[in-house]
Chains A and B, each alone.
Chain A
Amino acid sequence: MIHSLFLINHSGDIFLEKHWKSVIGRSVCDYFFEAKEKAVQPENVPPVLQTPHHYLISVYRDKLFFLSVVQTEVPPLFVIEFLHRVADTVQDYFGECSEGVIKDNVVTVYELLEEMLDNGFPLATESNVLKEMIRPPTILRSVVNTLTGGSNVGDTLPTGQLSSIPWRRAGVKYTNNEAYFDVIEEIDAILDKSGTTVFAEIQGVIEACVRLTGMPDLTLSFMNPRLLDDMSFHPCVRFKRWESERILSFIPPDGNFTLMTYHVSSQNVVALPVYVKQNISFLETGSCGRLDITIGPKQTMGKTVEGLTVTVHMPKTVLSANLTATQGNYTYNLATKVLVWDIGKLNPQKLPNLRGSLSLQAGAPRPEENPALDITLKIQQLAISGLKVSRLDMYGEKYKPFKGVKYLTKAGKFQVRT
C-alpha cells in the first residue's frame, strides 16, 4: 500500500514528508526531480514513475506536488484518488491548499495524515469523521486552547466510522434547517476552424449544502432523468432506488458535499450557448499577422451569457498586438504570449468583436502552429442540458427545512481551433 508521502513545492523543495511504514530516504525523489526537469512544464510530469525499487505516483494540485512512494503492486488510481483526497482535506481544513498554509499548520496536517492512513491503508478520509477527531483550527479555538491548555484533538470515538452511514455524525443540531443544491454544468467542446462542433459534452455536478438537524432522509427527483448518461454518486445515495425509480434517495452528510456527478455524452446533441467566428492569419512575408474574432449567442434559452473571456496562446514569435475591441478590454502578456480578451456580458444586439494586427519578431519565419482559443463563460439559472429538479422531500424529521435549487452553466474546456 502507500508507503510514504512527500509534499514538494513548485521549485522542487520537499517541505513535508510522512512515512506510514519504514522511512524511505528523500533521495528517492531524485527520480521525480529528473522527470520534472525533463517535462519542463509541471503539468506534464508523468503521474506514475518507476524507479529501481519503488514506484512514484504523484498529482499536481495548487502548484504543489503530492508525491507518494509505493513498493508493491497497488492500484495507482487508488493512490491518485487518495492524494487528491489529501489535498481536498487540507483545503477543507484551512481554506486553501498551499505551502504556506501547510507549514503554518504542520502538526495538524501531520496528525491528519496519520489518521487518514494506517500502514498505508486508508483509515478515515471522510471530512466529517476527521473533523470529529481533529478539529479544524479556528481563531477562537486557538485562543481558548492557549488559555485553557485544551487541544484540537477530539476524545470521542468517531462514531460515524462504524455506523452504516459513515458520512454522517450523530447528534447534528441547527436552529436554521436548510438544504441547498447547485446544479452546475460544464461544457467541454472543441470547435474547428469553420465553427462546426468537433466534439461537445457536458459534465454536470450537483453540489449540496445541507444543514439539517438529526437524521433527515431526503429524496430528490428530476423532471427528465433520462437525459443523464453516466452518473457517479456520493456513497450516501441509494443506488437501487435510482435504478428502479430514477430518484435520488439519501441520508445526506452534514455540510457541503458533492451529491452526484453526471455526464451528458457526445452521443446526444449538446447545445452550445455561443458561436465564434475567428480568423487569425500570419502573412507569408513581412512580420505581421491579422486577428479578427466575433462572438455571438447561439442557444442560450433566453438567458444572458456572462463572464465571457477569450484566451489565445499566441506563437512565441508574436511580439505585440494592436487591436480594438468593440466591447471589453484585452491584454497581451509579452512574457507568456497569452492574449486575454475580457468581454463580460454578451449583448445579442451588438456582437463583440476584436480585430487588429499582430506584429511578429522581425525576420522570424511564419509560425507553424495555429493558436487555439479558450472560451470561458457563465450562464446563471440555466442547466444547458435541460436537466431540472422537480421536487425535494424530507422524511424522518418533523421540522420544515428551507430548500433551494440553483442552476449554473459554465464553459469547461471550450476550445476553438484556428
Chain B
Amino acid sequence: MTDSKYFTTTKKGEIFELKAELNSDKKEKKKEAVKKVIASMTVGKDVSALFPDVVNCMQTDNLELKKLVYLYLMNYAKSQPDMAIMAVNTFVKDCEDPNPLIRALAVRTMGCIRVDKITEYLCEPLRKCLKDEDPYVRKTAAVCAAKLHDINAQLVEDQGFLDTLKDLISDSNPMVVANAVAALSEIAESHPNSNLLDLNPQTINKLLTALNECTEWGQIFILDCLANYTPRDDRESQSICERVTPRLSHANSAVVLSAVKVLMKFMEMLPKDLDYYGTLLKKLAPPLVTLLSAEPELQYVALRNINLIVQRRPEILKHEMKVFFVKYNDPIYVKLEKLDIMIRLASQANIAQVLAELKEYATEVDVDFVRKAVRAIGRCAIKVEQSAERCVSTLLDLIQTKVNYVVQEAIVVIKDIFRKYPNKYESVIATLCENLDSLDEPEARAAMIWIVGEYAERIDNADELLESFLEGFHDESTQVQLQLLTAIVKLFLKKPTETQELVQQVLSLATQDSDNPDLRDRGYIYWRLLSTDPVAAKEVVLAEKPLISEETDLIEPTLLEELICHIGTLASVYHKPPSAFVEGSRGVQHKRLPGSAGSGESESQDTGSAAGVTEAPPAVIPSQGDLLGDLLNLDLTPPTTTGPPPPSSGMQMGAMDLLGGGLDSLMGDESEPLGGDLGGSPAMGAGFSAPTAAMPASFNAPVSGGLDDLFDLGGGVGLPMGAYTPPKTIWLPAMKAKGLEISGTFVRRAGVIQMEMTLTNKAMSVMTDFAIQFNRNSFGLAPAGPLQVLTPLSPNQSIEVALPLSTVGPVMKMEPLNNLQVAVKNNIDVFYFSCQYPISMLFVEDGKMERQVFLATWKDIPNDNESQFQIKDCHLNSDAASNKLQGSNIFTIAKRTVEGQDMLYQSMKLTNSIWVLAELRVQAGNPNYTVCLKCRAAEVSQGVFQCYEAVLKN
C-alpha cells in the first residue's frame, strides 16, 4: 500500500469528498482523509478550504493523526488566522500533557504558526516549557523562543525569554545548551549590538564541555559561537584550541570546517615560536585534504575556504599540491577552484609538476576550463620567476596546437609575461605574429596589438600588421580600438618617418569618426601631445611601465582577515564580506582577527552599507578577477556614493571644447591617471582593459551623480519653495567685541553652504582687515575662501557678507553636534563666538535614496538607532509638508496612506555621507506630526528633528 494513490485524485469534487471523509465517524477513514489532505498540500495544491474540518480532528489520542493535523496547521494557519485561534486551546492543553513528547510537539508546532494573534497565547506555555523538567521539552522550547522572536521580537524581549535562554547556556544537558546557543545566535543576527551571547571564560567553559557531548549540528552552532569570542591571552587561546582540535576528526564536514575557523582565528594569538603553534599547523592539513574526497558539493565549499586559508597561511597546505590535481570527471565548478588553488600553491619546488598538469588540462574538452588552464600557465610564469622560461615554451607548444581558443588565450597571457619580464622573450614574437589572422576575440586581438606596438622597433612589418587591423577599425570593440590607437602612436614615436600617414589615419578615425568618448578623448590627447611637444609625447607614451606584480588576484588583507573569521559561511564562499550581500543580517558586525584589532574601526561608523556595495573597499574590486569571475573590471558597478566628485565629470567633458584651452587644464589635472592609462596599467588581470576599466571607476560615478543632479533639478523646478533659512540672530554682541556686532545665519544655495553675516561697526573708529577662522567641528565646516570685506567699515555702518563654506575641514565632534566656534579678527582684536547651524544645511542634493535601497537600509539599521519625535501644531497637509521638506533636501521616497494617516518615507544625506531615513506620519486634522528617524549615527537624530520642526513651521 503506497501513498502514490494520493497523487491520483484530481477530480473536481475532491475537496467536497475529503470534507465528508474528514467528518466521518470512523477513525481510520478520518486518518486516511487527513493523509490525503497532507499529500495534496505537499505537492502544492490548495486545500486550505478544509481548515475547520481538519482542525476538528485535532482532539485525538492518536499521535500520528495529531502530528498530521499539526503539519496541516503549520502550513495554513497564516491564511486562516481566525480559525487558527480555535486550535489554541488544544495546544495549551497539550503543553501540559504528561507525555513529554506531546508537550514538546505542542510547543514546537505552536511556534510554527506564524499568526500574531496566537503569539500572545503562546507565552505562558512557552515559559513553562523553557523550565520543563524534561530536557527534550526544554531544548524544543529554546528553538520555539527563536521562532517567536522572528514573529514578534518585542514580545520576546518584554517577556524576558532572552534571559531565560541565556540561563539555558548553563543547562546540564548538552543538547539544551546547543539549542540555546543556536537560538541566541539566530536572534543575535537581528540585534548586532545586543550582546546576547555575552561570552566570558565561564560560559566558554560551559560551551566547551557541551561541545563534546552534543549532536553534530549542536557542535556546529557551538563552534560558530566560540569563533566570536576573543580570548584574553595566548594561554586561554591555546587551551581553547586544544579542546577544539578533536572536532577536526568529526565525520560531519561542517563540524570540521567550523573547527578550522575557530583554530584559524585563535591561532593568531599564539606566539609563532611556540611548539604548539607548529603542531596546530600540522594538524590542520589532513582534515582539509580529507574534505576534498567528499561529495563534489562539499568539495566546492571546502575549496572556496581553502582558497582563503592558503592566502592567509600558505604553510599549512604547501606540501599538499597533489590533492588539488584535477580529475577529468570532476564537476566544472570543482575543477576551476582546484586550478585556482594550484596556482596559489605553486612555488619553485613544485612548479615542474604544476606545469605538467596545466599542460595536460589544456588539452581537455571543456573550453572554459582549458582557457583557465592556459591562463594559469601565464600566472605561474609571473609568480615563479625561475619557471618563466618553461612556461613560455609550454605556451608556445600550445600555440602550435592551433586550437583557436587555446592560441588566443595563450597570446593574452604572453602579453602579461612581457609586462613582467620585458625584453626577455621577444624571440617568440615571430611565432605569435603567425597566428595573427586566427584571432577573433577582442582580448586576444588587443593583446596582440599591444605586443606589436610595444616591440614595434623589432618587428619589421609592424606598420603593415597594424595597418591590417586598421581597415576594420569601426567594427572592432572599444578595447581593440583603444589599443590600436595607442600602438600606432607608439609605432609613430619609434619610427616617425614611415608611419606618419598611418598615425594621421588612426587619429582621424578615433577623433572624427568615432562616437565613443573614451576613444575620442584619447585620440585628442595624443593628437595634441604629438602636435605640441613630440618629446613630451615620447616621454608619456613610451614611459617605462611599472612591472606587474606577482599575484594580483590576492584578496585585500583586511577583507581576508574578515573572511577568515567567516570561514564556513556563505561569505567565505562568495569571498565577500557578509555586509555586502546577506540580506537578512540587519547591521553586520565587522569581525576582525584578534591581534590585529582596531585596524578597521574607523569605517564601521556609518559610511552606509546603504548601497551595500560601498562597504567593500574599492581596492578589492580588481582582485575579484579570479578564475571564476573573469569579468574584468568592466562589469563591476561603480561605487555609488563614495567620495567627493572628481574635478571633471564625463558629462562636462563631452561638451567641452577639447581643442581649446580646456584641454590644458584637463591635462594638468589628470596627467597622472592618463599616464597610467596610456603607458601601462598597474594591474595585470586588468591588463589591457585597464584604460576602459579605469574609466568606469573614476568617471562613471560622477556621471551618474551628474545625472541625478539633473533629474533632481528637474523635479525641483516646479517647486516654489527654496531651502528654509533661519532668521539672522546676533552671534556676537557689540559690547563683547569692542564695538563689532555680528549677526548671521546659514543658508544653502545651489548646493553651497553659506554663512551670511551682517557686520555692524558700533564703535567710534574704522574697522579693517577682517579675517575669519573656524575651530574644528563635527562636520568639517571650514571657510571656502577669505572673508570678503573689501572696504573699511566706518562707524555705524553695516555690511552684508556671504562666506561660502566647504565641508572638508578638520573634524572634531562638538557638543551639541551642530555647534560651530568662530574666531573673527579685525584691526582691533580677535573675537570668539560660537553659533549653531541647522543640520539641514548639510543635507546634500542627491540625498534621494532608491526605494529598494531605502527598504533594505531601513531594515538594516538596528532598532536601537531609531528615535521618535513629535512635532506639535503643524497645519500642513502631507503634500505641502513634503514639498517644503524637499526644499531643504529632505526627499520623499514613498507615500503610503493607512487608515487616514499619511506615512511619508524620506531620506536625506549629510555632507559626510551619513544617510538619515525618516518616516513622517501625518494624520488629517491632527496638528501633531510624528517623525521617526533612523540613522547609523544616531547622534544626528536630534539635530535632524530640529530641522524638521524648523522647516515645517516656517
- Interface set of A (CB-CB < 8 Å, partner B): 1, 14-23, 26, 39, 41, 43-44, 46-48, 50, 53, 55, 58-60, 71-78, 80-82, 84, 100, 103-108, 110-111, 114, 118-119, 121-122, 125-126, 142-143, 146, 149, 151-158, 161-162, 164, 166, 188, 190, 192, 198-199, 201, 203, 229-235, 239-240, 242-243, 258, 260-261, 263, 265-267, 313, 315, 368-370, 372, 374, 413, 415, 417
Contact = CB atoms under 8 A, between A and B. Distances in A.
B319 A235 contact: no
Nearest to A52: B583
Contacts of A26: 44
B748 interface: no
Contacts of B573: 48, 76
Contact of A81 (B99, B252, B364): B252
Contacts of A121: 143, 146, 179, 182-183, 217
A44 B323 contact: no
Given A77-B253, A198-B325, A232-B256, A369 B363 contact: yes
Contacts of B153: none
User: Could you say which of A15, A58, A119, A370 has the most chain B C-beta atoms within 10 Å of its C-beta?
Assistant: A119
A230 B301 contact: no
B405 to A, nearest CB: 10
A266 B323 contact: yes
Given A71-B584, A77-B301, A111 B331 contact: no
Interface stretch (B289-297, B712-720, B899-907): B289-297
Contacts of A106: 3-4, 6-7, 38-39, 42-43
B7 A43 contact: no
B329 interface: yes
B220 interface: yes
Nearest to B108: A118
A50 B580 CA distance: 13
Contact of A152 (B64, B99, B220, B298): B64
A98 to B, nearest CB: 12
Contact of A119 (B4, B75, B147, B569): B147
Nearest to B214: A166
B69 to A, nearest CB: 12
B584 A72 contact: yes
Contacts of A417: 328, 360
Contact of A105 (B2, B99, B216, B333): B2
Contacts of A103: 3-4, 7
B63 A151 contact: yes
Contacts of A263: 286, 289-290, 293
A151 B62 contact: yes
A73 B582 contact: yes
A199 B320 CA distance: 11
Given A43-B296, A235-B250, A369-B365, A22 B217 contact: no
A44 B331 CA distance: 5
Contacts of B42: 16-18, 106-107, 110
B251 A235 contact: yes
B71 A114 contact: yes
Interface string B561-604: 00000001111011000100111110000000000000000000
A151 B28 CA distance: 10
B195 interface: no
Contacts of B401: 368
User: Could you say which of A15, A44, A47, A152 has the most chain B C-beta atoms within 10 Å of its C-beta?
Assistant: A47
A232 B71 contact: no
Contacts of A239: 246, 249
Given A50-B581, A267-B319, A76 B64 contact: no
Given A76-B569, A122-B215, A243 B246 contact: yes
Contact of A199 (B78, B111, B112, B325): B325
B35 A78 contact: no
Contacts, number: 268
Given A149-B31, A157-B99, A413-B327, A265 B289 contact: yes
B150 A21 contact: yes
Secondary structure call for the B interface = helix
B416 interface: no
B323 to A, nearest CB: 6
A78 B3 CA distance: 31
Nearest to A148: B28
A351 B469 CA distance: 59
Interface string B39-50: 100111000000
A161 B136 contact: yes
B569 A75 contact: yes
A290 B469 CA distance: 43
Secondary structure call for the A interface = mixed
Interface of B: 1-4, 6-7, 27-28, 31, 35, 38-39, 42-44, 62-65, 67-68, 71, 75, 78, 99-101, 108, 111-112, 114, 134-136, 140, 143-144, 146-147, 150, 173-175, 179, 182-183, 186, 189, 213, 215-217, 220, 224, 246, 249-254, 256-258, 286-287, 289-290, 293, 295-298, 300-302, 319-320, 322-323, 325, 327-329, 331-333, 356-357, 360, 363-365, 401, 403, 568-571, 573-574, 578, 581-585
Given A17-B44, A72-B582, A47 B297 contact: yes
A266 B322 contact: yes
B101 A155 contact: yes
Contacts of A19: 75
A162 B173 contact: yes
A201 B323 contact: yes
A107 B297 contact: no
A190 B570 contact: no
Contacts of A14: 44
Contact of A107 (B3, B134, B216, B581): B3
Q: Which 8 A-B pairs have the closest CB atoms?
A: A230-B286, A151-B64, A153-B64, A104-B2, A72-B584, A47-B297, A77-B254, A122-B217
A63 B178 CA distance: 35
Given A199-B325, A267-B319, 12 more contacts: A18-B42, A76-B301, A76-B568, A114-B67, A119-B147, A161-B175, A166-B215, A188-B327, A192-B360, A232-B287, A235-B251, A265-B289
A232 B251 contact: yes
A229 B67 contact: no
Given A73-B189, A106-B7, A190 B327 contact: yes
A73 B569 contact: yes
A368 B64 contact: no
User: Could you say which of A26, A126, A267 has the most chain B C-beta atoms within 10 Å of its C-beta?
Assistant: A267
Given A121-B179, A161-B136, A58 B297 contact: yes
A266 B350 CA distance: 14
A120 B356 CA distance: 46
Nearest to A262: B290
Contacts of A43: 296, 331
Contacts of B254: 75, 77-78, 80-81
19 contacts: A1-B182, A16-B43, A20-B112, A59-B295, A73-B569, A73-B578, A74-B569, A80-B295, A81-B253, A100-B4, A103-B3, A121-B146, A157-B136, A230-B287, A230-B289, A235-B251, A265-B286, A266-B322, A368-B363
A72 B189 contact: yes
Given A77-B302, A122-B217, A415 B327 contact: yes
B713 to A, nearest CB: 31
A75 B224 contact: yes
A243 B253 CA distance: 20
Contacts of A143: 1
Contacts of B295: 59, 80, 84
Contact of B583 (A71, A154, A155): A71
Contact of B286 (A59, A114, A229, A233): A229
A248 to B, nearest CB: 12
A29 to B, nearest CB: 12
Contacts of B568: 75-78
A114 B68 CA distance: 10
B217 A156 contact: no
A119 B254 CA distance: 19
